Structure 1
Amino acid sequence: MTSGRQLSEVLNHRRAGVLLHPTCLPSRHGLLGQSARRFLDFMAEAGLTVWQTLPLGPTHADLSPYQSLSAHAGNQEFIDLEELVAAGLVRQDELGSENNSAQRKSVLALASDRFFNDSEARPEASGRDEFTAFCAANAQWLDDYCLFCAIREVYPDQSWLGWPSELRNREPGALARFTETHWESLRRLRFEQFLFDTQWHRLRDYASERCILLFGDIPIFVAHDSADVWAEPYLFKLDKNGQPQCVAGVPPDYFSPEGQHWGNPVYDWDAMAKNDYAWWLSRLDTQRRFFDLIRIDHFRGLHAYWEIPADQPAPKNGYWVEGPGTRFLEACFGRFPDLPLVAENLGIISDEVEALRHSFRLPGMTVIQFGFDGSAGNPHLTHNQRRRDLVYSGTHDNDTTLGWYLSLDNHTRGYVDHYLGNSADPMPWPVIRAGFQSVCQLAMFPMQDLLGLDGSSRFNTPGTTSGNWIWTLDWSLCADGLADRIHELARLYGRLP
């Protein structure tokens, strides 16, 4: 089988890229405008041609991109309000001095009112036709998402299980009455998604002009408190009250000795198969519009996933359940022959999981930090890596490479130094150089590694619920010839565009 022409084109050349979620960009009024363009300019100067992000969806209070309110929607917090000033929808003095969610909501509501009022008078200048086309093209998910968010605004302290029963159970009459009385909020929410989509695609064009590809991430599971589960609960293993009967996680392993309890409801794959995985195909179609390359997080869950009974929440009480495997992937590539998928194949990976990945010729991941267990056969060591796979110094779930190195015992640190040639360069540059040298066509580096930062700049620690997802880039750290240093490695090891 083939994974498609587009993926082949992406991996046809040696490339280097950077892993940085947009929330890491410093910006007073939004992320998808000048701040993101400045980052793309830095990438172009450094010879980096792939920008990898985490999932782009709106988050819960914990800020985790892997527990989104929607598998389709963009995070309205990313919208650059300065762009609305340029469009004449708000004045500079109306942006305010604070950049918090309440202030942003107020500004976006003001912009929404002006957009629709102007569109009645000057439809050719307002973008109303584009808005109407966007709503029509995305109606399959947009209407439910906006209803979900509008109801959440009325009941801000409740998940959908705590809503009045007629709204929780989606009684048509109740939804019609709610729509009638909250039309302004629903219109604003649609407008926000239109703005996100417009700004993202404008940014994607800017990246393309600089030969930079955008690389996205799809969590295999979705949050229980999400528009997706509320809108189509029959696709998930829920009880009659909407509570998960079992949840997803991973068993104890070297990465997490106690295992992990993610809390996501698991799919009823039999129900999904009845309509040829239409829910997933729609989700993939959305991400295809956003990205040139897409990673499926926890790919091994397509072969078998760790199911934890809801009434026995310790991860050790879980068990493996067979996933949809070949039939699912055949449906995906049958619909999208050029689907540019990368498999996240880290953790407990069996031969059967790798066989499934290889049968669809999907690239996998290697992480240099994982290579030093003392075995010369470790697949993460650079001499064992494969051309078609991706190499990372570390991922968003790892400590920074410098933080990792400093945490090693003396024996392992000596092994790392010896393997990397006892370089005179300070860590993490020996690991970065090894990534550039790798036979892998695509080498990826978290921005914290390219900046040489220690563990205080770690982005996420799996299994913890505080202090994550908040690191912010300091532009001053990108000075002193950093782009030139990266560019020289890209030139030396054949990774320039």
Structure 2
Amino acid sequence: MSNKWRIIIMRTSGILMPISSLPSPYGIGTMGKEARRFVDFLEKGGQTYWQILPICPTSYGDSPYQSFSSFAGNPYFIDLELLCKDKLLTKIECESYKWGKKPQYIDYGIMYVNRYDLLKKAYDRFKKNVPADYDDFCKNEAEWLDEYTLFMALKDANGGVAWSEWDEDLKFRKPEAIEAAREKYNDDINFYKMLQYLFFKQWTALKAYANDKGIRIIGDVPIYVAMDSADVWANPTQFYLDEELNPIEVAGCPPDAFSADGQLWGNPLFRWDVMKKDKYTWWTKRISAMAKLYDIVRIDHFRGFDSFYAIPAKNDTAKNGVWKEGPGMDLFNELEKKLGKLPIIVEDLGFLTPSVKKLLKDSGFPGMKVIQFAFDSREDSDYLPHNYPTHCVVYTGTHDNDTVMGWMKTAPKESVKFAKDYLNLTKEEGYNWGMMRAAWSSVADMAIVPMQDLLGLDSKARINIPSTTGGNWQWRATPEQIDNKLAKKLHRCMEMYARLREEPEAEESDAETEDKKTASKKTCAKKTSAK
């Protein structure tokens, strides 16, 4: 695996920018012209990668890491202007809704009400002129699409409550009840199928545009899924649930220096013993689907495959959890056997035991380094650039970190002083540019910086504060922030640190090849004569 990866990622760079954070007149970033303009910006900036956050439908809390489905696309990302071109909506209709007062932030409350109301207008027109490839899409994706769309239709019919609170026959998926529901809610099911058709149509076109420009997309795959999801409802035996289909233990992180109570994520845990017996079929389907969506897959919380923290589901903190053994290389060997060698990055942050480090080495996947984590002055750190191996991906920060400019104000004074001394950070250069310089100049094969760091934004542009609800996942860029001047400056940095995207060589005609051979012979003849 590692040899294959060396070829893919050697001295490259990219930008972390969620689709939701792109500029848009309609409340949230989408897969339309601003996404293409961002791809153009990456191309001009000499970048190779666009890293995004999960693109699945968000549930309570608006986190892309808590989704109603691991396979579906987020309807919010469907571009309204493209729907106008398809005559499914009109510009007047799009502008008749309120999309929030602040263009720098997403108002998810408004989005939930208005976006779906508008998309239902599109559905009324879609039904009258169904595209020729719609039925093929539904058949090709039926394995997850049928369950997800029924799940969403039933959620609507039940006032949005979790599936664990539905009627017993639907909760336990009694065949007669499921069949009756499919018939009763057929129109609602088809509405959600249309949304997925439109999402994947637009996503496929956007990805093709990016790839044609030499930009490859890194997509994020959370290790865990939400309890209130089609994944768990349709596959309860794959998760650690009791006879009443309630979680027995849930996921999280133990207490540490940053959190006295630990982190209680609440996701149901996998029954790895059951998954092993069926050769990890669910995981194979999931990674296979993600490999089709993205050029490179980033797997979140990699250490959970070595050992995972299990917390009693009834607890209200993460204090009383225990560590349990994960599937280890058995899972990844099975995935490679079925899917071949896939380009994968893994998030291996936090306290790493020897067994986690061994799993990373055995897998051959590159792990992550985050520069913000490097400056605890009490000890040497693997996150300091002079300790990096080449086979890794370095970030200034991730979606869970403050921005560099925010970190400079909020981190402990001794840590900030250490960073300034170690990286020679100055106000004249810009603290954000100094920290990005450290990433780009390091030996790491790949360097990724969040867009907020490139723009030099403070804590107001932070994406997420872990273990908090409300106020997260909201930041958006404005159109004037993403300009050619910034792209040119970025391109110069890529030249300086040998991270420019490699352009594919154009194929030469036979005549051009012959002309070059002739010119080469003449040059050699002149040199020989001169001697």
Q: Report if TM-score (shorter chain) is over 0.5.
A: yes
Residue 208 in 1 paired to residue 211 in 2?
yes
Q: CA deviation at 1:40?
A: 1.1
CA, structure 1 residues 427+257, in 2 after alignment: closer, same or farther (shift >3 Å)?
farther
- The SS at the match of 1:205 is helix
Structure-2 separation of matches of 1:60 and 1:487: 38
Q: Which residue pairs with 1:105 in the alignment?
A: 116
Aligned pair partner of 1:306 in 271, 293, 309? 309
Q: Which residue pairs with 2:506 in the alignment?
A: none
Q: In 1, are the aligned partners of 2:18 and 2:51 still within 8 Å (CA)?
A: yes
Structure-2 separation of matches of 1:457 and 1:92: 30
Aligned pair partner of 1:461 in 454, 462, 465? 465
Deviation larger for 336-345 or 223-232: 336-345
Q: CA deviation at 1:106?
A: 3.3
Aligned pair partner of 1:289 in 245, 268, 292? 292
- The SS at the match of 1:370 is helix
Aligned pair partner of 1:492 in 485, 490, 496? 496
Structure-1 separation of matches of 2:331 and 2:444: 27
Deviation larger for 374-383 or 326-335: 374-383
Q: In 1, are the aligned partners of 2:403 and 2:458 still within 8 Å (CA)?
A: yes
Structure 1 letter corresponding to 2:64: P
Q: TM-score when scaled to structure 1?
A: 0.94
Q: Which residue pairs with 1:53 in the alignment?
A: 52
Q: CA deviation at 1:220?
A: 0.6
Q: Which residue pairs with 2:157 in the alignment?
A: 154
Residue 473 in 1 paired to residue 477 in 2?
yes
Q: Mind listing any 5+ residue stretches in structure 2 that lack a counterpart?
A: 100-110, 502-531
CA, structure 1 residues 422+470, in 2 after alignment: closer, same or farther (shift >3 Å)?
closer
Deviation larger for 210-219 or 172-181: 172-181
Structure 1 letter corresponding to 2:452: Q
Deviation larger for 198-207 or 417-426: 417-426
Structure-1 separation of matches of 2:483 and 2:17: 18
Structure-1 separation of matches of 2:464 and 2:196: 27
Structure-1 separation of matches of 2:3 and 2:248: 37
Residue 358 in 1 paired to residue 357 in 2?
no
Structure 2 letter corresponding to 1:24: S
Q: In 1, are the aligned partners of 2:306 and 2:328 still within 8 Å (CA)?
A: yes
Q: In 2, are the aligned partners of 1:3 and 1:337 still within 8 Å (CA)?
A: no
Q: CA offsets per residue over residues 442-492 of structure 1, 9 Å max, x none?
A: 100011100111112111011111211111112223348222211111111
Q: Which residue pairs with 1:118 in the alignment?
A: 129
- The SS at the match of 2:311 is strand
Structure 1 letter corresponding to 2:167: P
Q: CA offsets per residue over residues 360-396 of structure 1, 9 Å max, x none?
A: 2110000011111226741111111111100000111
Residue 321 in 1 paired to residue 344 in 2?
no
Q: Map residues 281-430 of structure 1 onto 2, 5 A cutoff.
A: 281-374=284-377, 377-423=380-426, 424-430=428-434
Q: CA deviation at 1:342?
A: 1.0
Q: CA offsets per residue over residues 47-73 of structure 1, 9 Å max, x none?
A: 222111111111113110111000110
CA, structure 1 residues 4+200, in 2 after alignment: closer, same or farther (shift >3 Å)?
farther
Q: CA deviation at 1:307?
A: 0.2
Q: Which residue pairs with 2:8 in the alignment?
A: 10
Structure-1 separation of matches of 2:425 and 2:78: 46
Q: CA offsets per residue over residues 342-373 of structure 1, 9 Å max, x none?
A: 11000121111111111121100000111112
Q: CA offsets per residue over residues 19-69 of structure 1, 9 Å max, x none?
A: 111111121346011121111111112222211111111111311011100
Q: Which residue pairs with 1:164 in the alignment?
A: 167
Q: In 1, are the aligned partners of 2:56 and 2:72 still within 8 Å (CA)?
A: yes
Q: CA deviation at 1:95?
A: 2.7
Q: CA deviation at 1:425?
A: 1.2
Pair member with larger Rg: 2
Structure 2 letter corresponding to 1:428: N
Q: TM-score when scaled to structure 2?
A: 0.88
Structure-2 separation of matches of 1:392 and 1:35: 24
Residue 22 in 1 paired to residue 33 in 2?
no
- The SS at the match of 1:47 is coil
- The SS at the match of 1:95 is helix
Q: CA deviation at 1:172?
A: 1.3
Q: Map residues 57-68 of structure 1 onto 2, 5 A cutoff.
A: 57-68=56-67
- The SS at the match of 1:134 is helix
Q: CA deviation at 1:144?
A: 0.4
Root-mean-square deviation over aligned CA pairs? 1.7
Q: In 2, are the aligned partners of 1:253 and 1:348 still within 8 Å (CA)?
A: no
Q: CA deviation at 1:210?
A: 1.3
